[in-house]
Copies of this chain bind each other. A is one copy, B any other.
Amino acid sequence: MTIGELARRTGCGIETIRYYEHEGLLPKPGRTSGNFRRYGQEHAELLSFIRHCRSLDMALSEIRILLRFRSAPDENCGEINALLDIHIGHVEERIAELKSLEGQLRALRDKCRSGRSAEHCGILQGLGGAPDDRGASGDNHVPRTHSTKR
């Protein structure tokens, strides 16, 4: 199947597929005489695996590790458990951060209920002070709030 068919079948963008190949997550497929990529069922399954992991917000580096285990089925899966536990920890941590953030934002929002001029806007005044320490640990790969993804 062509890259376009693979993309349709997996719901993954064509550019993303080429990106995964470049990053070594997908093996280089065969080519037609005209240099088009030719994929088989095994590529579709592998790509679905990767997209599933990504839908669970795993980093590509984590997925790389899982793929290693997937292709070396004799190894003990304790490391897989550990990886997942760490990832769950990251997600929990980010949820806690975002909840704290939401509380702060709501408190700020309550400072300006009316249509006053910006000069007296409680929100701007509330933002003037020193920020609270957000207490992020620094090694959490789970993004906080912004990002434009499909």
Contacts and interface: CB of A to CB of B under 8 A. Distances in A.
- Per assembly, the copies of the chain total 2
A22 interface: no
A115 B52 contact: no
A119 B75 CA distance: 8
A130 to B, nearest CB: 6
Contacts of A52: 127-131
Interface string A82-117: 001101101110110011011011101100100111
Interface of A: 45, 48-49, 51-57, 59, 66, 69-70, 72-78, 80-81, 84-85, 87-88, 90-92, 94-95, 98-99, 101-102, 104-106, 108-109, 112, 115-119, 121, 123-124, 127-132, 134, 136, 138-150
